[in-house]
Amino acid sequence: MTVKELSRLRHQGTVAEIAKVKFPYPNDEFPDYETIVNVPTPRLSVGEANGRELVPDIVVVHKPGLFLRMMAEVEMPDTVNDESAVQDWLPMSKIGPLYLYVPVGMVPETKKLLKKHKISVAGIRTWRFRPVWGLEVVEVP
């Protein structure tokens, strides 16, 4: 298995786990919300920018209908970069509340990119897998 394939599988697993833990919709408090995971197969676009569909990793909608409530992008160490910021974060942040999930240790770089490209997000959260405890997500102040 190639490094690229391993990274793709890690991203897929991380997205699935974050969706399950942080966006457990529908639930008792929000029975009309639904979480849609766009990895590995895109299911819901939130719009278009520069002729390209915008497909966040995680989308939360209000039903009936598909009214966007929030979305999340789960980044890997190699995707916290200018390309992701310009191609994904900026256009998505203009459509609705966007949460960025970045690997532990990547917050300073993420904040630099947000400032550099004048991007405002609903929140930054770090993630990491801990051998015994599993996924750990921390909200960044």
Q: State the sign of the Cα–Cα–Cα–Cα dihedral 32, 38, 89, 111.
A: positive
- Other CB atoms within 10 A of residue 127 CB: 21
- Other CB atoms within 10 A of residue 101 CB: 23
Task: Give the per-residue pLDDT at 3.
Answer: 85
Dihedrals phi, psi of 83, to nearest 5 degrees: -60, -50
Task: Give the per-residue pLDDT at 130.
Answer: 85
Domains of the chain in sequence order: 3-139 (3.40.1350)
Cis peptide before 108 (omega within 30 of 0): no
pLDDT per residue of the chain (141 residues) written in tens, 0 to 9: 798 898 899 999 999 999 999 999 999 999 999 999 999 999 999 999 989 999 999 999 999 989 999 999 999 999 999 999 999 999 999 999 999 999 999 999 999 999 999 999 999 999 998 888 888 999 998
Strand partners, 72: 58, 99
Q: Interior CA angle at 132 toward 127 and 134, to 5°?
A: 30
> Distance between CA atoms of 33 and 27, rounded to whole angstroms?
8
In this prediction the pTM is: 0.94
Task: Give the per-residue pLDDT at 50.
Answer: 86
Amino acid, res. 26: P
> Distance between CA atoms of 86 and 8, rounded to whole angstroms?
21
